[in-house]
Chain A
Amino acid sequence: MAKVKGDIIIDIEKCKGCELCIEACSQKSLETSRQVNQKGYLYIVKIEDNCTGCTNCALVCPEGAITVYRKTDKSKKQVAKITNITKDTTVTVNE
């Protein structure tokens, strides 16, 4: 099974280290750093390379400090195209 590959960038100067993102992360990718930002907060860093790009951390972040990236899996191929009256639907499966 192809793995979803995600990543995040945390704006550490906006981060206040509230740790709500750590709580929201099912992958346990995040941890509080030992360094402080200019405001003196221990900011959050990503410590694991297992991010799925689910955006949960960004959703609960009160500071809007997290940008989330997710890599589209190239190994998927199109197997069919279904057309109905409202929109086109593309169905893909993993190779």
Chain B
Amino acid sequence: MSELKLMKGNEALAEAAIRVGADAYFGYPITPQSEVLEYLSREAHARTGMVVLQAESEVASINMVYGAAGTGKKVFTSSSSPGMSLMQEGISYIACAELPCLLVNVNRGGPGLGTIQPGQGDYFQSVKGGGHGDYKMIVLAPSTVQEMADFVKLGFELAYKYRNPILILTDGALGQMMEKVELFSQQDRTFEDLGWNIIGRSNGRDSNVITSLHLKADKMEEINIRLQKKYNEMRKNEVRYETVNCDDADYIIVAYGLVARICQKSAQLARDKGLKVGVIRPITLFPYPEEVINNYADKVKGMFVVEMNAGQMLEDVKLSVNGKVPVEFHGRMGGVVPQPEEILEKLEEKLLGGSK
């Protein structure tokens, strides 16, 4: 039975994790995502018996996730940009050891200690492999509080489907703002012998080992080939995106997360002026909706990428468009959120070459 509530994005995410029957959360406070840890500390254990542990650092929390995910239990963590940077080594291990788990990055403005306002500067870190080695995670980018909750459920499903870490890449604004959210009903916590998980060596089998170490180069290459094959499966099956008024559009704005919502307003303002603008919102940043963008590139006069960074997803849009039409960019950085009018003005200036 679903339930309608008014909640902060961070709280909706935490509530969804309780309802999906997550077994453990290991986290560390950092603005603007501390509500996740706070909400879980308050609610989770009493309701479902979920383990909630405040670790001594993000390094410890990601390694607790690594340990616990090896048992096959449903575990997750959340952090914000600087904390995510600390977790990258652990994420690389988790990806190589092929452990299912959910990670959440409530992106804030960077680099360095940066700001506590929203940002999208962690796009490269998230989709291009922030840690060492060739690995990928499915990256889900919510743009509403509703999606903050829904993607927790989807994230865990994908994590177990592929035995891979899944990242929800959101931002400080979505984490903090309140919206109505329809919550799915409480699911039971379940646990099973998955065959590979470390739950104690049961009779009749040799030990299960969780590791990312393979000293022989040919063995390590074999692992890499298997991983790449899995990532290709993700590319084939898991691309998610939303298109708004793209079919008759002359120009398309490509934006994700919070910015995509703002760009919808910009597109509306453009249509009011007689300019046919549509919006493509990639929901999965990996795998990236290359094909849909490439197809639209045949129909439009230009693409406009808007991000809260210096132009990171821009590179993927350019690769997808592959030179068919001009691709222009507008970005704000350091925690500044672009305004709808500002975006339209920049679009006209850069793509239409006028209206200065």
Direct contact between A and B in the complex (CB less than 8 angstroms)?
no
Interface residues of B (CB under 8 A from A): none
Q: Chain A residues in contact with chain B, CB under 8 A?
A: none
